[in-house]
Structure 1
């Protein structure tokens, strides 16, 4: 029976060929209530050509650097601050085989650790954004050969899906990619990104991924705030229709209208400005990669939904304002009529008193 077994060295060779060495970079973004704007600014050196426009990328500042142990692995952890109010926890761990099934458990453990760090900076536990970046540089030639050999595992990691995916789903997932040179490729999905680059130029891509998820986080918070205001406005409108609300609430309506204007302004300043600056780069790799990630995260759809909510809010508060104006006018007319009525009664009393005294 042993004669039919392949040599041990052959088995080892096959096993080694199946391993893909790389680094997992897991980042988590949160919104803090603290002011952390006194840290060292991150200077990311880019290997790819790009114009030297100032202030195109949002500034990231280093808050903390330390090493921790997760799942018996050494993890390099960096806490960064991106004004206004965004904290990024970035964990990096070198892996002998980045396609190992154990990665799912490792990612979950990293998520727990990163959330604990966000908690230290008073971040809102209900709003965070996570993403996994699989960085591979230990290869030669065309990375598509590696992708073709391990496409099922790569697609599963990109989608954080343990069960085997359908062939069509795998191919659709892997098509969402961008290349810069003949021997690199970046594949983007909602939960993860694979970056193959033999020169190890990962930092600039990771920075763009973090900015895109920063935009998504801000849009999620903005939508939540808008939905809360919409519910409040609908309740106010219902009470107004039922005449259960005093006219003094008009101050609240004016305040709410100002808040809507502030929300739109905030959206333009924080989100639109960042994307506009990046798109100023035009056809350069950074702009094209950001556009690819933005499409995958459906950032434009988020903006459209938020604008629809804000439009609905403006309509409701406009109706409320009109109702209160009419109600206030009616109240004034009633007061004037009542005052004239009281005045007439007073005149009649004086008239009868005068007749009584004369008699």
Structure 2
């Protein structure tokens, strides 16, 4: 068996201002997964790579994109011992370079996610042998460099795990994951973790867009007191804007859910579900659906105001027409009286 490998893999995703293009990247999938897996998940394109020195070593940062505008910066640093405090410093440097790359591509760092993968591969025996380092494992997963975690918190962190074979193990948390695999088969796990972070980022972006759209709708409703007269052009523009907001948001949420429904029921689905639960993606979905309902309510108010405005306009037209008619009759009566008196 090959010599044991220990690696720190950093994943940083961010929404960028540039449209990403390139050759399609096809990750290696080894573990059992449905035949439609590769066609179901979002595709990556190869954007490029950059090199920086970290810890005295030249490290390659691979740039791949989820079209149209989410950039993934991934790097791998081989280390002698993952179970040491100095890993925090390497992790920090990897993130600093990754975020600099995102900025170069015009990213708004408010819409970014970072995640650390601590991989131990090509070992002999059971992965539980490494749990003697449980304290540093939990600290790395929680990104707690200086705080000593309570033993109960350590055990809680290590309990979030999944196994596929007898001698592999994955421990998943919010900020990172430990992957133990005796044959180095971690590519699918990396792909699924990247997808989970991508989904989290996209849900956060959609949530922010909905906040902006709700604020715009509130302003629209505020400026539409019942009975106000709208010209035809203004009415059409407001209706179009309102419908685009609703349909665009609903379509985006459905696309996010559709991307993940086809992963399947085998290892990949179980692994992804565990990661998604740590990222609270279901809670994000509930929040977004609630805001979509609020948007629906705002839409109803806009429709009602338009209806009331149109109704009032028709009523005013009828009233004005009635008065014009009365004035006409009065004018005829006056003319007749003038003719009578003139004789």
Q: Say whether the fold is shared (TM-score over 0.5).
A: yes
**Take 1:357 and 1:72, find their aligned partners in 2: how far apart are those partners?**
112
Which of 183, 190, 200 is the matching residue for 1:206?
Answer: 190
The CA distance in 2 between the partners of 1:276 and 1:135, in whole Å, is 27
Alignment CA distance shift 1:246-1:224 (3 Å): farther
What residue in structure 1 maps to residue 59 of structure 2? 75
1 CA distance for matches of 2:183 and 2:122? 9
2:290 and 2:283 map into 1 onto residues whose CA distance is 11
Q: Cα deviation per residue 1:154-202 (whole Å; 9 max; x = unaligned)? A: 0000010121100110000011011111211111001001101121122
The one of 237, 257, 274 equivalent to 1:272 is: 257
Secondary structure of 2:15's aligned partner: strand
RMSD: 2.1
**In the TM superposition, what are the counterparts of 1:49-64 in structure 2 within 5 Å?**
49-53=32-36, 54-64=38-48
The separation in 2 between residues aligned to 1:238 and 1:40, in whole angstroms, is 48
In the other structure, the counterpart of 1:13 is none
| C-alpha distance after superposition, 1:205-233 (max 9, x if no partner) | 11110011111111001111112222222
Aligned partners of 1:89, 1:186: CA distance in 2, in Å?
22
Per the alignment, in what secondary structure is the counterpart of residue 103 of structure 2? helix
Using the TM superposition, give the Cα deviation of residue 322 of structure 1 relative to its aligned residue in structure 2, in angstroms.
Answer: 1.2
SS of the residue aligned with 1:190? coil
Task: Kindly tell me the number of residue pairs found equivalent between the two proteins.
Answer: 333
For 1:216, the equivalent position in structure 2 comes to: 200
List gaps (5 residues or longer) in structure 1.
Answer: 1-19
Q: 1:306: which partner in 2?
A: 288
Counterpart Cα distance in 2 of 1:319 and 1:44: 48
2:114 is aligned to: 130
Task: Give the distance between the partners of 1:274 and 1:100, measured in 2 at CA.
Answer: 38
Deviations, residues 101-153 of structure 1 (Å, cap 9, x unaligned): 22223222222211221223233332011101011115321111111x11010
- The residue number in structure 1 matching 2:300 is 318
Check conservation: 2:227, 2:305, Cα contact below 8 A. no
SS at match of 1:229: helix
1:164 aligns with 2:141: no
Query: Structure 2 residue aligned with 1:232, among 213, 216, 219?
Result: 216
Q: Check the 8 A contact 2:227/2:312 in 1, yes or no.
A: no
Structure 2 partner of 1:92: 76
What is aligned with 2:244?
Answer: 258
The answer on whether the counterparts of 1:158 and 1:189 sit within 8 Å (CA) in structure 2 is: yes
Q: Give yes or no for contact 1:239–1:245 (8 Å, CA) kept in 2.
A: no
Structure 2, gaps ≥5 residues long = none
TM norm structure 1:
0.86
Match of 1:48? 31
Considering Cα pairs closer than 8 Å and 6+ residues apart, tell me whether 1 or 2 has the greater RCO. Answer: 2
Report how far residue 42 of structure 1 moved: 2.0
Residue 288 (1) aligns with residue 270 (2): yes
Cα-to-partner distance string for 1:70-121 (whole Å, 9 max, x where unaligned): 3533222100012242211112111122222222232222222112212232
**Alignment counterpart, residue 179 of structure 1, candidates 158, 163, 169:** 163
For 1:349, the equivalent position in structure 2 comes to 331
Alpha-carbon offset, residue 289 of structure 1: 0.5
Indicate conservation of the 8 Å contact 1:74/1:93, yes or no.
no
Partner in structure 1 of residue 320 of structure 2: 338
Does the 8 Å contact 1:21/1:97 carry over to 2? no
Aligned-partner Cα distance in 2 for 1:70–1:337: 80
Aligned-pair distance for 1:297? 0.8
Distance of 1:99 and 1:343 partners within structure 2 = 93
Moved more, 100-109 or 300-309: 100-109
Q: List 4+ stretches of structure 1 deviating above 4 A.
A: 243-246
Post-superposition offset of 1:61? 1.6
Q: How far, CA to CA, are the matches of 1:192 and 1:244 in structure 2?
A: 56
Q: Is the 8 A contact 1:33 1:122 kept in 2?
A: yes
Q: CA deviation at 1:336?
A: 2.2
